[in-house]
Amino acid sequence: MYEVEVKVPADLEAVRARLDGLEATATGAVVQADTYYDAPHRSFPETDEALRIRTERLEDDPDETRLTYKGPLVDDASKSREEVETAVGDGEKVDAVLTKLGFEPAATVRKERERFELEGYTITLDSVDDVGEYVEVETEVDDESELENAREGAFDVLERLGLDSDDQLRTSYLELLLESG
Residues known to be catalytic = 36
Contact 105, 95 (CB under 8 A): yes
Cβ within 8 Å of residue 2, ≥6 positions away? 74, 80, 81, 82, 83, 140, 141, 142, 143, 144, 146, 147
- As a whole number of angstroms, the distance between CA 75 and CA 129 comes to 28
Element housing 109 (H / E): strand 104-118
Contact 89, 66 (CB under 8 A): no
